[in-house]
Amino acid sequence: MRIRLLTLLAAGVLGLSVLVAAPAGAVPATADDDSGFILSTTQPGGPGQAPMFVGNGYLAGRQPFDGQGFAQVQLPGRTEPLPTQSQVHGFYAVAVPFTPPGLPPSIPVERRAALPAWSTLSYNDGSGAYSLSSGQVDNYLQRLDMRTGTLTTQVSWTSPGGHAVDLAYDVTPDRVHRRAAMVRLRLVPHFDGPVTITDLLDGQAVELATSQGTSHRGNTQWVKLSSVGLGMTATVASTVIPPKGAKVRPAQTSDPLTAGQDVRFRVKSGQTYEVTKAVGVAVSADSTDPATTAIGASKHEASLGYAGMRTGSDAAWDKLWQSDIVVSGDARLQRQVRSALFALLASVRDDTPWAPSPGGLSSDGYNGHVFWDSETWMYPSLLATEPAIAAESLQYRVDRLDAAYRYAADTGWSGARYPWESAHSGLEETPTWANTGLWEIHVSADISLAMWQYWLATGDTQWLASKGWPVLRGIADFWVSRATRNSDGSYSINTVIPPDEYVEKVNDSVYTNVAARDALRFATQAAALLGRHASPKWSRVADRLRILFDRTLGIHPEYAGYPGDAVKQADVTLLAYPWENPQPASVTEADLAYYVPRTDPLGPAMTDAINGVISSQLGLPGCPAFTFTRRSVDPFVRPPYEQYSESRVDGAFTFTTGAGGFLQEFLYGYTGFRWRGDRIVLDPSLPPQLTGITDSAVHWRGRVLRIEVGPEQTQVILLSGAAVTIQTPSGTQTLRSGGGLTLPTRRPDQTPTTNLARCHPTLATPATAEPPEAAADGTDITQWIGPTADATIQVELGQTVPLGSVTITRNPVTTFASTSGGKGVAMATKSAGERVEASVDGSSWRVVATVTAPTLRDDVAGDGQPTRYVRLVALDATDTVPLIVGELSVQRQ
């Protein structure tokens, strides 16, 4: 096998990077260079491995581990196989959606339809088509280059007939030409004889569409589609570029949704051959003649050739990566950050007015609908890094303003009411078995916040007048009509579902009311800026909306009558960020401490990103912000491409909502960056686990800044644009073009403490969804949970000291399980006991004490012996009574 791999290298088949094939059975690679831009695997479809998708922001396709084609992949924890779908913005059908068991079927709603799989370029030597499930597979390597949006698959394959060949597939959606993609196959045979390469537009992948015919002309073929129920049309075309002397003929297919063409030629051992297909896609949502458009796109792409296409596409990706987020001190976290950013960028672009769904373009997850996920979770990261793309995301809402007015009127309200789930029409597309479409109305305020943030970020008065103001005005009128006046003159918003979807039809949701209040004020401020009329009702209702507060507990109750139950996801904590509700830091901290232990860990991935941003903002002593960062990513990403799943066990995939929330920790959390109309706000901090975070290009009102957060100082460089005013905790300064500004970096971990364990390296056995850092980050808000009989948590003190006391604290409330119905239960802490052990070298341990009846605080006397390591060993822990450690504190004697 080594000889054949060297043949590929000599022929240039592997491109510029010299790669080393892993031996059979090797552990899957997570990266094969040090850049953090390459993710790879040497074990196709190994345990827990999920296939990657690539896209150009308009079209995308998930690719099987074979490197091309279509497959159904079974992932652990998922009840249904994951299809490698091909998606495009704007192609919708009307059909009955999935209904959970035991609920009445929904009426039909708009659902995004899937296209034929366009990447198939199948190799066959006459004894069977290439497949990882047949023949003999050696030297397998699949790698995603996020710098160029290219997925490359390399394999040495011996066919059932005994013929050996080296194959290398490249799948690259064209970032310049949004309707186009290319697939290249390079092969080096080790035999002489005939081969057939089949260019297939594979109808197996089609969902919710019917065939309107297939055709073939020369080297070009196409499939015409019509979406079920809605009748939208789409065309997928491909033009094959064969090797010299090869013959191209239509392939026989029995599926009316499939088109195929065969490329036949004879090969000689050791020579390199190349076959390329150029793909074109068009839909009636943005083309008056999808067939002509798609065929033209395919032929134009073919005229460029693969190398020509890559020249332009790579340059376009390079421009996007100028807004890179660089994380120093944690190589895997760097790859996770880049994978999250790539997932967003593969699903959006600056010439397509469409907002991303929770799965982006990776799948038809959530029917391809648009939720608050777009404005609250994905949009803020785009606004800071790619404002032109952010504008197109908002344009989706601007284009559907008339539909929002219609929806409000149809449901008995005034103004513009945006639906909870939106698709092509802009009307409510929530499946009728779910009540969220009836009562989860905060989405309209979320859209207002995004509109206002765009104004703060760009200062584009023309945009505000023509696009932002009409939306803000319409939403404000909706909130006035939706508010109910109380006998004391205050206003309530009743019968809603808050972001915590475990409750329904509650009154005065604190999130909904704060969001509605601010949406009303945004409209009033926009009117003043533009010299337009502001309804006096906007201010009257905003000033008198009930914002609940419990003075005894010092927190915001989630809604009127909230009993302290578990919540699904971030809700009240969102008041501090992104809404910046004016409240003392003590209230923000109290809300965080109250709701984190009550949040269901089996909820969606976004919650801990907010907790991380708020922890950074508060500067809580220790390093809980990094714990939240770990909690916001590690339990949710799937190997080998670090793609987000919606929950720890299942849900939408790839969950671009979670990716967007995660990125906000690095753009708004550790930097303290906040939008203002006349300045920007910075308040940088850094956890000890990292050595630096750099936001390479943050955009504000025509300026581009680089923010480099270091362990002691933060450098802010104005790369382009006019001078900018920067507000910091130490004062306000002016930064001029080409100049730099040095700010102190806050280090909450360096807050004085007698706890020798705080923020020191921790290890846990077994590895769990809860990061071990939670046991020594300075707060019992975060907790480490060990569910096995022999679970252990260990901390290295960084020095050898005579052991004084050891204290284990636990939060009085922790949520560590969900009921069978999917709703979390807030449970009083019931922890297994523990054995406290100490060591000098981390290998020889002595027992210091045994705690058989744990309480919320266990104080253990030390033995005064030299100690560098302390660990807790569970006493018969189980998944229902685990070892729970809120904080492990160690004192010197």
Contacts 24+ apart (CB under 8 A), 698-706: 698/323, 698/384, 698/385, 698/667, 698/673, 699/323, 699/383, 699/384, 699/385, 699/386, 699/387, 699/457, 700/457, 700/675, 700/724, 701/457, 701/458, 701/459, 702/458, 702/459, 705/680, 705/735
Report the distance separating Cα 788 and Cα 853, nearest Å: 18
Report the distance separating Cα 361 and Cα 349, nearest Å: 12
Given a contact cutoff of 8 angstroms between Cβ atoms, the answer to whether 301 and 208 are in contact is no
Given a contact cutoff of 8 angstroms between Cβ atoms, the answer to whether 130 and 122 are in contact is yes
Given a contact cutoff of 8 angstroms between Cβ atoms, the answer to whether 815 and 500 are in contact is no
CA atoms lying within 13 Å on the CB side of residue 402: 3
Report the distance separating Cα 651 and Cα 655, nearest Å: 8
Residue pointed to by tokens 């630096």: 692
Report the distance separating Cα 395 and Cα 626, nearest Å: 35
- Name the active-site residue from 646, 708, 770, 773: 646
- C-alpha distance from residue 699 to each of 526, 674, 724, 728 (Å): 22, 12, 11, 18
Report the distance separating Cα 32 and Cα 155, nearest Å: 16
Given a contact cutoff of 8 angstroms between Cβ atoms, the answer to whether 263 and 247 are in contact is yes
| H helical segments located in 223-376 | 290-320, 331-345, 372
Question: What is the DSSP secondary-structure string of 382-402?
Answer: HHHH-HHHHHHHHHHHHTTHH
Report the distance separating Cα 845 and Cα 863, nearest Å: 13
501 is catalytic: yes
Report the distance separating Cα 723 and Cα 742, nearest Å: 16
Given a contact cutoff of 8 angstroms between Cβ atoms, the answer to whether 769 and 706 are in contact is no
Strand, coil or helix: 146: coil
Strands 72-73 and 82-83: antiparallel
Strands 724-728 and 731-735: antiparallel
- Name the active-site residue from 501, 642, 665, 837: 501
Question: How many of the other CB atoms lie within 10 Å of CB of 348?
Answer: 27
Given a contact cutoff of 8 angstroms between Cβ atoms, the answer to whether 259 and 214 are in contact is yes
- C-alpha distance from residue 278 to each of 27, 172, 774 (Å): 35, 10, 50
Report the distance separating Cα 697 and Cα 61, nearest Å: 29
Look at the chain and count its residues.
893
Tokens of 9: 């290298």
Phi, psi dihedrals of residue 799, rounded to the nearest 5°: -160, 160
Report the distance separating Cα 212 and Cα 231, nearest Å: 11
646 is catalytic: yes
Report the distance separating Cα 227 and Cα 231, nearest Å: 5
Strand, coil or helix: 55: strand
Residue pointed to by tokens 């409750």: 503
Tokens of 271: 């020579």
Given a contact cutoff of 8 angstroms between Cβ atoms, the answer to whether 508 and 559 are in contact is yes
Given a contact cutoff of 8 angstroms between Cβ atoms, the answer to whether 834 and 872 are in contact is yes
Tokens of 51: 């296939």
Report the distance separating Cα 803 and Cα 476, nearest Å: 62
Catalytic residues: 501, 646
